[in-house]
Amino acid sequence: MRTLAIATVAVVADRQAALANPIRRVVNMLQGLQTKVEAEAKEAEALFAKFQCYCASNDKKLSDSISSGDEAVTRLESSVKSTAAEKTQTKSDLASHKEDREAAKKAIAEATQMREKEHSDFTAESGDLKANIGALNQAIPAIEKGMAGSFLQTAAGSKLARIAEVSMQLTDGQKSDLQAFLQGTSQYAPASGQIVGILKTMKDEMEANLAEITKNENEAAQSHAGMVAAKNS
């Protein structure tokens, strides 16, 4: 009974103390609120720091991306300009090459036409020289063997007579002696040695002339072939 009375007294005393000290209650409440606010402030600071780090990181990435993009654009612009310049140069080169090819074709055609004429002239001249040399090769041994009369009746004899008429290698005196011999108006014996000498001289000169024009023809043909090969390369 006594214990109950003491407890009742204590409770009453606490309630009286609480009622008697309202300021303490306010202080406790404010202290609790302060603790809560401080905790929320720390959490906000942590979130803000994390946000700042995120922004800084993203800003750097964005800046790097923009810088890389600018460099890529610059390289692309340079590549486009270079490609355009190369295209222009290629067109110019193609036009120049076409002009060169046309000029080469024209030069080849003109040179070939000239070469064909030169070859035709050579063929005709060399043919005449070979025929004349052939006639002299028959005349000389025939006259040396005393068979001039029968030889003069052959085609080779007639050829020799025409050679004597148009020859530019003989002096007027040699031409007169040869024509007189061929026409039978001079004595054979005294004239045969002289005539053979004239014919041999003519033959030597014709053979030398034939060798020279043949050499020139071969050189001209090689030169033309080389020119055509160079123009077509």
Least confident of 18-22, 40-44, 166-170: 18-22
Confidence of residue 19 (pLDDT cuts 50, 70, 90): very low
- Confidence band, pLDDT 50/70/90 cuts, at residue 15: low
pTM value?
0.55
Tally the C-alpha atoms within 13 A of residue 145's C-alpha that lie toward its C-beta. Answer: 8
Quick count: other Cβ atoms within 10 Å of Cβ 68?
10
Closest to 211 measured CA to CA, from 135, 136, 130, 140? 130
Q: pLDDT band for position 125 (50/70/90)?
A: very high
Q: Which residues of 194-206 are buried (b: 16+ CB within 10 A; e: fewer)?
A: ebbebbeebbeeb
What SS3 string covers 62-128? HHHHHHHHHHHHHHHHHHHHHHHHHHHHHHHHHHHHHHHHHHHHHHHHHHHHHHHHHHHHHHHHHHH
92 vs 14, residue with greater confidence: 92
What's the pLDDT tens digit per position in 23-43? 777 777 777 777 777 777 777
Cα–Cα distance, 35 to 150 (Å, whole number): 157
Determine the pLDDT at residue 5.
46
Q: What's the pLDDT tens digit per position in 36-86?
A: 777 777 776 777 667 666 666 666 676 767 777 777 777 777 777 778 778
Q: Are 202 and 135 in contact (CB under 8 A)?
A: no
Share of the chain above pLDDT 90, in %: 17
- Over 70: is that where the pLDDT of 184 sits? no
CB 118 within 8 A of CB 224: no
Q: How confident is the model at residue 11 (pLDDT cuts 50, 70, 90)?
A: very low
